[in-house]
Amino acid sequence: MIDQLADKVRAGERVSAGEALELYRDAPTALLGRLADAIRARKHPEGIVSYIIDRNVNYTNVCVAKCNFCAFYRPVGSPEGYVLGFDELFRKIDETIAVGGVQLLLQGGHNPDLPLSWYEDLFRAVKARYPSFKLHALSPPEVIHLSRLSQLPVPAIIERLIAAGLDSIPGGGAEILVDRVRTLLHCDGKATADEWLGVMRHAHHAGLRTTATMMYGTVETDEERLEHLLRLRALQDETGGFTAFIAWSFQPGHTELSAARLIHEATGVEYLRTLAIARIVLDNVDNLQASWVTQGGKVGQLSLAYGANDMGSVMIEENVVRAAGASYCMDEVEIVRNIEDAGFAAKRRSMHYEILGDPIFREREVPRMHELATARADGDTRVPVELANYPARSRVGKKRPTV
Ligand code: SF4
C-alpha cells in the first residue's frame, strides 16, 4: 500500500486525509524525504534555496491571551512588561537596513493599551521614513484582538492597516487549526481555527499575500496535524494567497503547558517527517521554509532534502523561541554556507519570494552579527513617551502619566 501511495505522489496526484495519514505514520523516513524532495525539485527546478534578510521584532510582550505554551508573554502590569517606542523601532530598522535587510517581521502580545491608532501611526511613520521597507506584521490573532478592541469588523481592520502601510500578514498563532487542540492550549479565546482562517481569507481578498504556520508537538494527534494541513490546503485552493508554509515544534522551556504535562520536545526525525508530509499534502503551496531557529542549523540544512526550498530569515533578533529555551543563531554567512554545502545556490529574496540577488556580503562589506539582539535589554523599563497619546484600556495603563 505504501508503494502505491508513493507512486501516486510521484505521479503528482493529490493525497486524501487517509492516504496522508498512512504515509505519515508508516512510510520509511528516507522514502518520505525522497518524495518531498522530488516535489521540491519539480516546483523549484533551478536549484536555488532562498532566504530573506529581515528582523523579527516583538513590539510588546504584554498579553491578555495567556496561551499555556507561551514563555514570552507577561501579564498587564508586570514589571517585566514592555512596549517598544517608535524611536527604538526606527533604530532597529536602521540596523536591519545596514546588514541588507528589507523588512520587519513585527508581532507582539495582545496589549489592551495599544489601540488601532498606535499601529496606524507606527506603520505610517515607518513608511514615511523608509518608503520601500516592508512590514510583514500582525498575525491573525493580533488582527482579531484589534477588531475586538476597536469594535470594528476584521475586514475594516485589515483595510485600515493596509492604508497605513501593512504589506503582508505572518501566519503566526495558527498552532494547530483544530478547536479541540486550541481549547487545551488555551488559545481558542484568541482565535478559533475558523477565525484564524477567516482573517487570512479576508487578507487574501484584500490583496495581501500571507504565510501559514504550524506549531506541532503539544497535545495534538497525528490526525489533527493532518487536519491542520488539509484546512490550509482548502483555503489555498480558494484564494491562492499563501506564499509559504513554516512548521516548528513546540519549545517546552518555561511554559505552563510543560509544567502541567510531561511533554518532550519533538525530535529531529519527527520534524523532518512532518516537513516532508507537509510538502506532499500542501501541493498548492510553492514555498516551504526550514525552521532552523527551533531545529538548529544542522537539521535546518537537512530540511533542504525533505521538501524545504527556503531557509527563512537571517536572525538578527529573536525573543519568543529564546524565552522557551532555544537560541540558535545564524547570520547571512552561516545561512549561505549551509545552503551551498547542501548543493544549492543561495539567493536573497523578498517577502513575495522574488529573487533579489546574490548574498549581500559578497556584494559589499556588511557587519557580521555575533550576538543575537533582543527586543529590550534585561532590566530596561523605559516607557515610550508617545504612549501617553493613546487611550489605555487596562487599569494600569489608565494610571500612566500623560504629557
Ligand atoms: S502566544 Fe502570543 S497570544 Fe499567546 S500568550 Fe504568547 S504572546 Fe500572547
**pLDDT of 396 above 90:** no
What spacing in Å lies between the alpha carbon of 69 and ligand 1's midpoint? 8
Check residue 322 and give its pLDDT: 67
Nearest atom within ligand 1 for CA of residue 63: 8
Measured distance CA(216)–CA(97) in Å, rounded: 33
C-alpha to C-alpha distance for 214 and 282, rounded to whole angstroms: 13
Cell numbers standing for residue 143: 488582527
Distance between CA atoms of 320 and 312, rounded to whole angstroms?
A: 16
HSE-CB of 46 using CA atoms within 13 angstroms: 7
Give the DSSP letter string of 373-399.
Answer: B-SS-TT-----GGGGGS---SHHHHT
Beta-ladder partners of 136:
105, 168
Q: Give pLDDT, residue 403.
A: 45
Q: All 3 cell numbers of residue 165?
A: 502601510
C-alpha of residue 268 to centroid of ligand 1, in Å: 25
Range with lowest mean pLDDT among 164-168, 182-186, 262-266, 289-293: 262-266
pLDDT tens-digit readout, 34-71? 999 999 999 999 999 999 999 999 999 999 999 999 98
Confidence of residue 373 (pLDDT cuts 50, 70, 90): confident
Give residue-wise pLDDT tens across range 340-368. 999 999 999 999 999 999 999 999 888 77
| Calpha distance 38→166 (Å, rounded) | 35
Q: Is residue 402 pLDDT above 60, yes or no?
A: no
pLDDT band at 315 (very low <50, low <70, confident <90, very high): confident
CA of 73 to the centre of ligand 1 (A): 6
Contact (CB, 8 A) for 65 and 196 = no
CA 141 to ligand 1: nearest atom: 3
**pLDDT tens-digit series, residues 278-293:** 999 999 999 999 998 8
More confident residue, 107 or 323: 107
Question: What share of the chain has pLDDT > 70, as a percent?
Answer: 96
Which residue has 510582550 as its cell numbers?
61
> What pLDDT, in 10s, does the model give residues 209-238?
999 999 999 999 999 999 999 999 999 999
Ligand 1 center to residue 15 CA distance, Å?
33
pLDDT at 174 over 60: yes
- Tell how far the Cα of 135 is from the centroid of ligand 1, in angstroms: 20
Single out the residue of 42, 33, 10 nearest to residue 273, CA to CA. 33
Atom 2 (ligand 1): residue with closest C-alpha? 109
pLDDT at 327 > cutoff 70: no
Ligand 1: residues with CB < 6 A are 63, 65-67, 70, 72-73, 109-110, 141, 187, 190
How many angstroms separate the most distant Cα atoms in the chain? 71
* Residue from 63, 183, 213 to probe ligand 1 pocket by mutation (most atoms less than 8 Å from CB): 63
127: region left, alpha or beta (phi > 0 left; psi from -120 to 50 alpha): alpha
pLDDT of 372 over the 80 cut: no
Alpha-carbon radius of gyration of the chain: 21
User: Quick one: angle between helices 222-239 and 17-26, nearest 10?
Assistant: 130
Q: What is the pLDDT of residue 145?
A: 98
Q: At what angle do helices 268-281 and 222-239 cross, to 10 degrees?
A: 40
pTM (two decimals): 0.95
Identify the pLDDT of residue 269.
Answer: 96
What's the mean pLDDT in 5-20? 97
Q: Tell me what percent of the residues of the chain surpass a pLDDT of 90.
A: 80
